[in-house]
Amino acid sequence: MSAVPSLDVPAVAPSPRRHLHLVPSGPAVVDSLEGGRSTRRAPLTRRAVLARRRFAALLALLVLVGGGLLAAKAVAEANPAGGATSVTVKDGETLSQIAARELPSLRNDRGVVAIQEANSMSSMHVQAGQRILVPAG
């Protein structure tokens, strides 16, 4: 036989159901709770508004200048000025043939795109006698 200690715990009657109560809110209640002190900020002076606008304009200008410098650096790295050669297109020659001959280290399609970018060309059409720049491959 085993012994089980008994606990004398009084039975607790369930508490009556609580109801929600509406609590007033708004600035009048906040003022009355704080003893009349308002937590609202005073409106900014004209001088403070102008100072904030100048700061925002300066920040925007710095972002634009920084972005421009980064873009210029990317363009300079993508199109190095040194090593580009000038080629005159022969009669019946295509841009694809020039890319294959002048840029053998690149795939032909990439060579064509490199030549188009170096010359700001929007198409693959070239004419006999036209001079085009071929970037270093």
Distance CA 97, CA 85 (A): 16
DSSP 101-121: HH-TTS-HHHHHHHHHHHTT-
132 SS3 class: strand
Domain 85-134 is of which CATH architecture?
Answer: Roll (3.10)
pLDDT at 61: 95
Q: What are phi and psi of 134, to 5 degrees?
A: -115, 115
Collect the ranges in the chain with pLDDT lower than 70: 1-15, 27-40, 76-82, 137
Please, what's the b/e burial string for 21-46 (b: 16 or more CB within 10 A of its CB; e: otherwise)? Answer: eeeeeeeeeeeeeeeeeeeeeeeeee
In the chain, what are the domain boundaries?
31-78, 85-134
pTM over 0.85: no
